């Protein structure tokens, strides 16, 4: 701490995760999860093509869940589009829209290979696939309204998508081999033309990408968590990489705690976006990813079809002073 400055507590060091609830919902591996921001309903997808809707109300202890068959292929990503509509990225190359109230599905065709990720902003849906393409959809139309590309056109798979949370006209996407980060500015879109910038970031694949306070965070397949500027310039490692490879993981933000969480393998990395050098790593049971659900709780899902809810509780040990 510098002399003459007021001391501050690293809030990431205050908390530790404590298991509240765990339940096995399926015999298959959960690959993704998204929770609607205004309620406690989480949508999960597994590798057998089933969608699960789970009530994660900690106070009521209900934990009700519904299983819905979507396709015979894996569900790689899900995203709440509205309070009644869920976007589903399927391994059968289709994008599915599920109306929760009506219990009905509609299909969107465009990708030629599996759809790996889905995001939503400003009434539009964005999807990335193993065909190396990113499509922008209007939910009222069956065909994509815009195609966004990586250059040169030879990248194998779009591994993750993210939207600028301050400027919804800016889209970030990562593609293989390694991590190729592309930024698209859709303000200048006209007849398929747009401004884009591309950077080669790392040799490892990006499993998850998150935008927060003018910075981009990448969770890599080598267990590393990187912080970049919005232009893709490397700043620092929040979590150093290792030789231990992971094929799944997710970064999410807890608005209640004002902390960023990254879950992968048997780790949860917790950090304050203002003090990324003071990240705290906690050991938990092996997971495929996590999702912040409400207050100081987060949900994890694993390859054995289990869902576990954790509560971030105060530590009894000394906290870090900045």
**Domain chopping of the chain, boundaries:** 31-249
Which residues face 254 on adjacent strands? 259
Low-confidence ranges of the chain (pLDDT < 50): 191-192
- Which residue is associated with the tokens 């231990």? 244
Q: Are 49 and 74 in contact (CB under 8 A)?
A: yes
Distance of CA 27 to the CA centre of its chain: 23
- Whole-number Å distance between alpha carbons of 75 and 117: 9
- Return the pLDDT at 315: 79
To 5 degrees, how large is the angle CA 181–CA 82–CA 206?
Answer: 20
Phi, psi of 241, deg, nearest 5: -75, 170
CATH of domain 31-249: 2.130.10.10
Q: Distance of CA 158 to CAs 97, 147, 238, 320, Å?
A: 20, 13, 23, 38
The helix/strand/coil state of 112 is coil
Work out whether the CA dihedral 225, 300, 43, 258 comes out positive or negative.
Answer: negative
The DSSP letter of residue 243 is S
Give the residue ranges of DSSP H helices in 36-133. Answer: none
- Return the pLDDT at 191: 47
- Whole-number Å distance between alpha carbons of 155 and 131: 8
- Show the tokens assigned to 124: 């539009």
Q: Is the peptide bond before 177 cis (omega within 30 degrees of 0)?
A: yes
The residues, any chain, with a CB within 8 Å of residue 183's CB and separated by 6 or more, are 170, 171, 172, 196, 197, 198, 230, 231, 232
Total-model pTM: 0.91
- Whole-number Å distance between alpha carbons of 252 and 257: 12
- Return the pLDDT at 11: 84
Phi, psi of 47, deg, nearest 5: -85, 5
- Return the pLDDT at 149: 81
């Amino acid at each position: 701490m510098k002399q003459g400055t007021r001391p501050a507590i690293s809030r990431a060091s205050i908390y530790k995760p404590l298991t509240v609830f765990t339940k096995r919902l399926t015999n298959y591996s959960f690959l993704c999860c998204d929770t609607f921001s205004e309620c406690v309903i989480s949508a999960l997808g597994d590798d057998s093509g089933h969608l699960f809707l789970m009530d994660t109300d900690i106070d009521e202890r209900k934990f009700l869940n519904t299983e819905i068959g979507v396709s015979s292929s894996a569900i790689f990503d899900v995203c709440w589009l509205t309070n009644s509509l869920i976007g589903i990225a399927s391994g059968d190359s289709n994008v599915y829209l599920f109306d929760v109230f009506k219990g009905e599905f509609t299909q969107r065709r465009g990708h030629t290979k599996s759809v790996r990720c889905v995001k939503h902003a400003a009434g539009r849906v964005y999807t990335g696939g193993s065909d190396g393409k990113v499509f922008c959809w209007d939910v009222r139309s069956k065909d994509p309204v815009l195609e966004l590309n990586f250059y040169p056109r030879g990248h194998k798979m779009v591994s993750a998508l993210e939207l600028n949370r301050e400027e919804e006209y800016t889209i970030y996407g990562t593609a293989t081999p390694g991590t190729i980060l592309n930024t698209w500015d859709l303000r200048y879109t006209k007849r398929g033309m747009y401004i884009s910038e591309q950077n080669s970031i790392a040799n490892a694949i990006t499993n998850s990408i998150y935008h927060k306070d003018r910075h981009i965070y990448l969770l890599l397949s080598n267990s590393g968590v990187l912080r970049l500027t919005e232009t893709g310039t490397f700043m620092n490692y929040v979590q150093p990489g290792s030789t231990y490879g992971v094929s799944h993981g997710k970064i999410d933000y807890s608005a209640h705690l004002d902390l960023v969480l990254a879950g992968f393998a048997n780790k949860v990395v917790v950090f304050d976006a203002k003090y990324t050098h003071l990240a705290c790593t906690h050991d938990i049971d092996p997971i495929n990813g996590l999702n912040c659900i409400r207050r100081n709780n987060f949900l994890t899902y694993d390859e054995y079809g289990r869902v576990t809810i954790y509560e971030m509780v105060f530590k009894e040990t000394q906290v870090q002073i900045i």
